[in-house]
Structure 1
Amino acid sequence: MPIPIIDLFAGPGGLGEGFSSVLDENNNRVFQIKLSIEKDQHAHKTLRLRSFYRQFPEGQVPKEYYDFVKGDITIEELYSAYKEQFKRADEEAWCVTLGTTDEEDKNNVSNESIDARIAEALNNERNWVLIGGPPCQAYSLVGRSRRQETILDEAKDNRVGLYKEYLRIIAVHKPAVFVMENVKGLLSARTESQSIFSNILQDLQDPMIPFVEIVSDDRVRYKVYSLSTAANARDLITNDPIFKPQDFIIKSENYGVPQKRHRVILLGVRNDIDVTPAVLEAKDQMTLRNVIDNLPKLRSGVTRDYSHFNWVIDKDGKSKKRRMYHKMTDSFSVWKEKLLEFESQIEGLFESDYKLTDQDFSSSLGKEFIASLNHDLPNDHPLKHWYFDENLNGVLHHESRKHLLQDIYRYFFAAQFTLEKGSFPKMADYKIAGNGLLPDHDNAESGKFNDRFRVQIPDDAATTVTSHISKDGHYFIHYDPSQARSLTVREAARIQTFPDNYYFCGGRTQQYHQVGNAVPPYLAYQIGKIVKDIINQ
């Protein structure tokens, strides 16, 4: 029988996808997600659709699924064609909010309801796995810096204590194994009296301590392991493995993921299970070019042109800039004309002989599904089996954004700069280049936004894809000057190692948000194999 999984704070299902991809020698799934909980309605729809996909045996997904992702039928028509599979998927993916008492939140449910649903899903199975990543905005280094917070206070920000919702499920339902993911900033976060990470680690080792209201004759403890560092020392009294906080940081680029995503991941094993887990095996680094270079070439669209600014008086009597724009009609001819203008404006700034040719220009903005047989990865690609689906015959979610004309100019310059220098330009480089490249923002030269326009280096792993990619693409500029655009949802999904047939529900902003919030499925797959061995032993 498959090993049951409960997935909390599931997002679009990155952790669940990785675990669900672990197969036995007969090509059957080793794990089965019994319940995934997520509060965001768009991510929940994605979870439900992927659960529907998994209701079919490996390699036997029906044609109608591909008809839907290609836009030939609606999702309602897909679900109507397979009512039983949809019913099971709908029962698995649950849209509720954990850790809230807000009565105005329509997704608010009681702990009793959550516990009943989990107990029903597990059906008295004792050896099951809990996975999930409690929301991390409170611990994020960037968020804390932006809010100018050095001390966190749960009374002021309930997100500080959201891990307790995960902890409470452990205390009540006692999984055999748990995997908890969070941001690296968790290690340095503090309340007024203590390190948050030390507190979380102690709670996870003895999860019932914070919950005096939980009465149980079956008190359990957990040993918490690093997935990157072997346990070389143990506590003489408790026999708990001893690690340094930094040992819990997983650097995804070390494990075949084309992204420098560094996250804290904790592996907990129930005390009655006398198994010392393995650690992840290092793999050759995968570069950005390895995973996106074969995708169809696109141009970005043009939205507006910035002409000048006026000084105006705001309601507080202060003088401020009001930027003046005018809308542009987007077309391939306009795009090509402007790129050639940009090329002439920066002529002489670089030593390389890079020149745009007619073959460089793509007239396509892309779309939600591009029928293409030429995007396939080479047969010797280490992750071909992971990304590729022979029934898809195209590319999902590969549509470029439209940008301000001046930003397209900066993208073009930045990509060419990166091509020659091997690193993206800082604000000082835009100032030195002149020709209107430096933004006229008041803080452009403050040093706070020195990397505001970040070209992703082609022959290195990408930087961390975060949910900020849903707001703008300035940190995720494509390395090809002739495309002069930010990365598409599919390119971001490739960096995150989502399979090519993974469909994200919602509009493009919601799709970006989901991709940025996920755990890389290929990393989760490797963790899943370690967990499988623990349960099997």
Structure 2
Amino acid sequence: MSAQWKPIPVIDLFAGPGGLGEGFSTILDENGKPVFKVVMSVEMERTAHATLRLRSFARSIMKNGLLPDEYIAYISSPTKENMQTLRDVYPDEWKAADIEAVQGKLVVDDDTYVTMAQQRLEKHYAEYDVKDFVLIGGPPCQAYSLAGRARRTHQKDDLERDEKQTLYKCYLRFIEKLRPAAFAMENVKGLLSARNYGQGVFGHIREDMQDKKYTLHSLVTNEPGNPHDYIVHADEYGIPQARHRVILLGTRNDIEHPVPKILRKREKVTVGQVLGNMPALRSGFSARAHADMDWADYISTAAERLLRTPEGSVLSAELGDIVAARRLPQSQSGAHVRENEPGNPLFAWYRCHLGKNRILPEDTSRNHMSSDLDRYLFCAAFAKHNGYCAKLYNFPKALLPNHRNVQGVLEGKEIVFPDRFHVQLANHPSTTVTSHIAKDGHYFIHPDPRQCRSLTVREAARLQTFPDDYFFEGNRTDQYRQVGNAVPPLLAQQIAVIIADWMDRPARAFLR
């Protein structure tokens, strides 16, 4: 082992499927060696933990950055037999991944995992002769979510009685007992306006960190003047998604290093750039009554009906090929990508571990109710024609959903959530990919009217900047939820570079 290669250990709490850890694991030093090494990640949810463990395993079996055939076989066909073959070929690496990724629930006033982390760190310090580590993660954010709080306004169990808000104390306990050199903590914007027993939560956090002898830094400005200066707009840093999150960078006061640098602005990346060259897929029917119906015939007829409405009559350019059933996709699954995707600045990132292999796992479209297919068709055509998304006020009356909220549209009144059907515009970064995508695809409609569907797991993962070989375990609902709850790895990588630089470990990353 090179004496210069001394990876900095990382502890990842509330890790989800591992977006933050992936970003930290991918930056390299001047010798092409990883700067950071995750020695322990903790996640409670079963399928997210399975994903976390698999990714740890995948990183350990790469050779020259490429994944072996056995792993490719598994993510192409995730059977028990293929998994067993994979584990049999790499038993030691699987055992190590099973140790690194811990399935467990962090509980206030329970130091079980603090002690475990201390033991992992001591072992790493002894092996590599390093003395400091980095803590990353984000306590579950539903308690601070503005949307979540709005849904609870009629309930007695408000923010102050929500168990999830106390999990921040678990994160704080690791800081207090283990004293990381630096930490990165991610949360939703609602954290800044949340109040706990009459006091601002963000103010509590800042005071806590000052008491523990840490300084909070903004990643977007050298002189933060208010709490909103800690919000990172991911779309300003090369992420194809308008994901706006609070990310707090903390450094220990006794370490005499310059103030950490801030993120460097980058050109915006759009939905069309990262999804536009992926395989064109059709949707399917969720109702058994349509099991024998030809999808192309249905979509063609739906386009004809739409053109006969006043609202749809202006969309002939967008619907003409669909009416004629020309160039409509035939499959619900995209098994392979092209050898290149012109105009996609992240293509090399998505495919970097797959070499010449063209597989594209977890790219299968959902089935939808026929009534929703009509709405998706209209919304995608409207957005393509106008450059913005339709609201329910713009819908043909026949396409309005049967919902009590919609009555106001018919009466010409303002309503709540008039944009409940939303297209991800091709010429812009996407809206925030959230866990709600697991429930339905109404807010994640594909921009191509010909495809008439919501986004696949793989498309959502690309918007979150997960590489195409990053495999999400569980059923499709589990997979969507994991993707929506994650931190974009390519944003995490940029944060990791800042921390590495602050720790005098210059690093290189994908985005230069």
Q: Given the two structures, how large is their TM-score scaled by the length of structure 2?
A: 0.89
> Does the 8 Å CA contact 2:391/2:418 hold for their aligned counterparts?
yes
- Bigger relative contact order, structure 1 or 2, given CA contacts below 8 A and separation 6+? 2
Tell me, in whole angstroms, the C-alpha distance in 2 between the residues paired with 1:508 and 1:113: 32
1:68 aligns with 2:103: no
1:387 aligns with 2:350: yes
SS at match of 2:277: coil
Structure 1 range deviating more: 194-203 or 124-133: 124-133
1:268 aligns with 2:250: yes
Structure 1 residues 227 and 131: CA distance shift in structure 2, 3 A:
same
1:200 aligns with 2:164: no
Which structure has the highest strand share of the two?
Answer: 1
> Does the 8 Å CA contact 2:307/2:316 hold for their aligned counterparts?
no
1:440 aligns with 2:402: yes
Question: Among residues 338, 351, 376, which one is paired with 1:411 in the alignment?
Answer: 376
How do 1:53-452 residues align onto structure 2 when only pairs under 5 Å count?
Answer: 53-56=58-61, 57-71=63-77, 73-99=81-107, 111-123=110-122, 124=125, 126-148=131-153, 156-207=161-212, 221-231=213-223, 243-275=225-257, 276-304=259-287, 327-330=289-292, 334-347=294-307, 349-350=313-314, 352-354=316-318, 355-356=320-321, 357-366=324-333, 370=335, 372-374=336-338, 376-378=340-342, 381-388=344-351, 389-430=354-395, 433-434=396-397, 436-446=398-408, 447-452=415-420
> Does the 8 Å CA contact 2:296/2:325 hold for their aligned counterparts?
no
Q: How many residues align?
A: 475
Instruction: Tell me by how many angstroms 1:153 deviates.
Output: 5.9
SS at match of 1:55: helix
Which structure has the highest helix share of the two?
Answer: 2
1:519 aligns with 2:482: no
SS at match of 1:264: strand
SS at match of 1:35: strand
Instruction: Tell me by how many angstroms 1:115 deviates.
Output: 2.1
Counterpart residue type for residue 495 of structure 2 = I
Tell me, in whole angstroms, the C-alpha distance in 1 between the residues paired with 2:44 and 2:221: 33
Counterpart residue type for residue 43 of structure 2 = E
Structure 1 residues 149 and 25: CA distance shift in structure 2, 3 A:
farther
Question: Among residues 25, 33, 37, which one is paired with 2:38 in the alignment?
Answer: 33
Tell me, in whole angstroms, the C-alpha distance in 2 between the residues paired with 1:510 and 1:77: 24
Counterpart residue type for residue 262 of structure 1 = H
> Does the 8 Å CA contact 2:273/2:345 hold for their aligned counterparts?
no
> Does the 8 Å CA contact 2:241/2:463 hold for their aligned counterparts?
yes
Q: Structure 1: give runs of 5+ residues left out of the alignment.
A: 101-109, 208-220, 232-241, 305-325
Instruction: Tell me by how many angstroms 1:491 deviates.
Output: 0.4
> Does the 8 Å CA contact 1:152/1:192 hold for their aligned counterparts?
no
SS at match of 1:178: strand
Structure 1 range deviating more: 64-73 or 338-347: 64-73
**1:132-174 CA distances to partner (integer Å, 9 max, x unpaired)?**
0100000000000111179986662111221111001100000
> Does the 8 Å CA contact 1:415/1:481 hold for their aligned counterparts?
yes
> Does the 8 Å CA contact 1:352/1:420 hold for their aligned counterparts?
no
Counterpart residue type for residue 397 of structure 1 = E
Tell me, in whole angstroms, the C-alpha distance in 2 between the residues paired with 1:252 and 1:373: 26
Counterpart residue type for residue 406 of structure 2 = A
Counterpart residue type for residue 258 of structure 1 = P
Partner of 1:311: none
Instruction: Tell me by how many angstroms 1:127 deviates.
Output: 1.1
Instruction: Tell me by how many angstroms 1:382 deviates.
Output: 2.7
Tell me, in whole angstroms, the C-alpha distance in 1 between the residues paired with 2:96 and 2:194: 40
**RMSD, aligned α-carbons:** 1.9
> Does the 8 Å CA contact 1:144/1:150 hold for their aligned counterparts?
no
Structure 1 residues 193 and 358: CA distance shift in structure 2, 3 A:
closer
Q: Given the two structures, how large is their TM-score scaled by the length of structure 1?
A: 0.85
Structure 1 residues 263 and 155: CA distance shift in structure 2, 3 A:
closer
Tell me, in whole angstroms, the C-alpha distance in 2 between the residues paired with 1:384 and 1:14: 18
Tell me, in whole angstroms, the C-alpha distance in 2 between the residues paired with 1:508 and 1:18: 24
SS at match of 2:399: coil
Instruction: Tell me by how many angstroms 1:438 deviates.
Output: 1.0
Tell me, in whole angstroms, the C-alpha distance in 2 between the residues paired with 1:392 and 1:243: 49
Instruction: Tell me by how many angstroms 1:419 deviates.
Output: 1.0
Structure 1 residues 423 and 375: CA distance shift in structure 2, 3 A:
farther
Partner of 1:309: none
> Does the 8 Å CA contact 1:176/1:270 hold for their aligned counterparts?
yes
1:477 aligns with 2:445: yes
Structure 1 residues 524 and 330: CA distance shift in structure 2, 3 A:
farther
Q: Structure 2: give runs of 5+ residues left out of the alignment.
A: 1-5, 409-414, 506-512
Instruction: Tell me by how many angstroms 1:343 deviates.
Output: 1.2
Instruction: Tell me by how many angstroms 1:327 deviates.
Output: 2.5
Instruction: Tell me by how many angstroms 1:11 deviates.
Output: 0.2
Counterpart residue type for residue 268 of structure 2 = Q
Structure 1 residues 155 and 429: CA distance shift in structure 2, 3 A:
closer
State percent identity of aligned pairs: 45
Instruction: Tell me by how many angstroms 1:116 deviates.
Output: 2.1
Instruction: Tell me by how many angstroms 1:534 deviates.
Output: 1.2
Counterpart residue type for residue 252 of structure 1 = A
Structure 1 residues 150 and 286: CA distance shift in structure 2, 3 A:
farther
SS at match of 2:65: coil
Instruction: Tell me by how many angstroms 1:224 deviates.
Output: 0.6
> Does the 8 Å CA contact 1:127/1:535 hold for their aligned counterparts?
no
Counterpart residue type for residue 66 of structure 1 = I
Tell me, in whole angstroms, the C-alpha distance in 1 between the residues paired with 2:337 and 2:462: 17
